Structure formats: structure tokens, C-alpha cells
Structure 1
């Protein structure tokens, strides 16, 4: 039997790992837009601003920690709302897709503009669609399936 905490930790770890791996593979490995270190430092810059880019490996680790903290928060939130949203129990895949899109909206239209008041303009183009797809596939869907497995014993 899985516990609530174990379910949240599992879904947060899986989602956080898949998301950061996809970001590094795609943006650093395939597209050569940045480096893994800069991706993680940019996460840390949400708190430490420009200092994050000069802080070395410490800031890289802080960025990784913040990334997983965010993944755990979204995993916890889905776990908490799951019993109250009937749609989540009907179709896990569509629930994961919709939750992934919700996460992208929250992060890109609420959190990032608050943390970084000056952001590049978003255009409906390949990079934007790729970022949405990564969050849906790597965060929303895994969280939905792992959480559903826990709740499957209740209905």
C-alpha cells in the first residue's frame, strides 16, 4: 500500500527528473541554446537574480533544488485536488495533459512575470509549443498517472 507522502514524493521526483532532463537534452544538447549549468542557474536567479550566474556550482545546486521544490508543490497540489475533480478519475491521460497545460500557464503567465518583471515577449511559435509539450509530457502526465495509482483503491 502506498502512502500519501510517498505518492507525492514519487510523482514530484519523476516529474522533476523528467522535466529537467528534457530541458537539458533539448535546449543544451540538441538545440545548443544554452548549457545545463545555465538552465539551473536561471532557476536560481528567480531568488538570487544576477548573482546566480556568478555563484558557480552552488547556484547550480540551488537551481536544481528549487526546480524539485516546484515539482513537489505541483505534485502535492494535484494530489490534494484529485478527489474533488471527477474528470481526473475518468481519463488519466487527458487529466495529465490538462494539468500539464495548467502548470505551464501558472509558471509562464503568473510566476515568471512576478519573479522576472521584464521577460521576452511570447509568440505562438515552435519554442513556445515545445515548452508546453515538455511540461505536459514530463510533468502533468506523470503526476496524473502516479497520483491515480494511489487513489485507484478508493473508487
Structure 2
């Protein structure tokens, strides 16, 4: 199961980070470097903006750690809740919405970034990205893994 979780984390984390960088660039002209620095600023505060490659690596590691937690939690829950075996789409939506809620209401709130104002348009874009880039890969790969494990 470890290998499947790690591969799923790499796939969904890469897809999500790519989509986040494209969205940030198209909506605000923000570069991938700035996206990773922003993520790192959750841990390092304003000092992150004075850093270089090491700060971007911290942002990258923080991003993948969060995706790993999402992946691990879903795999663990999936193995016990039979209802999750019914629909990849509903599971993807569940993962996307929960990931957004945890990120905005827990991670951001307790990070050095702090809570952000709710903007419906931004929330819908974020949940859509999370649905396609985190939810679908995690739900699909968990279904494949447990189907093979039961066979």
C-alpha cells in the first residue's frame, strides 16, 4: 500500500501544483517561484520572501506533505468504508471539498499566512482544481489498489 500511496501523492501533488501555478499566473501574473514561496511563508512567515531556492524547496515539501496526508487519510478510510467503493466522482468531490476545507479552515488559519477572506469565485476555482487534480487521482488510484488487493 505504501508504494501506491506514494505514487498517488506524486501524481496528484504534481497535478495540483501545476494547476495552482497556471491559475496563479493567469489570474494574477504570479510565477511558480512566487507560489512556492507563498506556501513556504505559511511556515516561515515574511522571512520566506527574502529566501531563495531553499525556501521554494520548503514550499514544495510542505505542499507534498499536505497531499500525502490527504492521500493517506483517503486510503485508510477507503479500506474501511464500503460506501466509498461506489463512485469515483463522488469520492473525488468529497476529497476536493475536504481538502479545501482543511486547507482554508485549519492549515491557513494556524499558519503564519492566517485566515483569508471568503471569495466565492476563488473558492469555486480552488475546489474545481482540487476535484480534478487531487480528488480524481486519489479516488481512482485507491479504487484500483483495493480492487487488486481484494482479487
Whether the TM-score (by the shorter chain) exceeds 0.5 is: yes
Task: Work out the CA distance in 2 between the residues paired with 1:68 and 1:12.
Answer: 7
Q: Contact 1:122 / 1:128 at 8 angstroms: preserved in 2?
A: yes
Structure 2: distance between partners of 1:139 and 1:41: 21
Q: Shift of residue 117 of structure 1?
A: 6.6
Equivalent-residue separation in structure 1 for 2:114 and 2:86 (angstroms):
40
CA distance in 1, matches of 2:44, 2:10: 24
Q: Secondary structure at the match of 1:120?
A: coil
Unmatched 5+ stretches in structure 1: none
- Distance in 1, matches of 2:137 and 2:48, equals 30
Aligned match of 1:99 in 90, 95, 98? 95
1:1-155 to structure 2, matched below 5 A, reads 4-28=1-25, 30-116=26-112, 118-124=114-120, 126-153=121-148, 154=150
- Residues 9 and 68 in structure 2, CA contact (< 8 A), matched pair in contact too: yes
Please state how far the C-alpha of 1:27 moved relative to its aligned partner: 1.1
User: Is the Cα contact below 8 Å between 1:19 and 1:135 reproduced in 2?
Assistant: yes
CA distance in 2 between partners of 1:7 and 1:13 (Å):
10
Say whether the 8 Å CA contact 2:36–2:56 is kept in structure 1: yes
**Alpha-carbon distance in structure 1 between the residues aligned to 2:84 and 2:146:** 10
- CA RMSD for the aligned pairs? 1.5
CA distance in 1, matches of 2:23, 2:11: 18
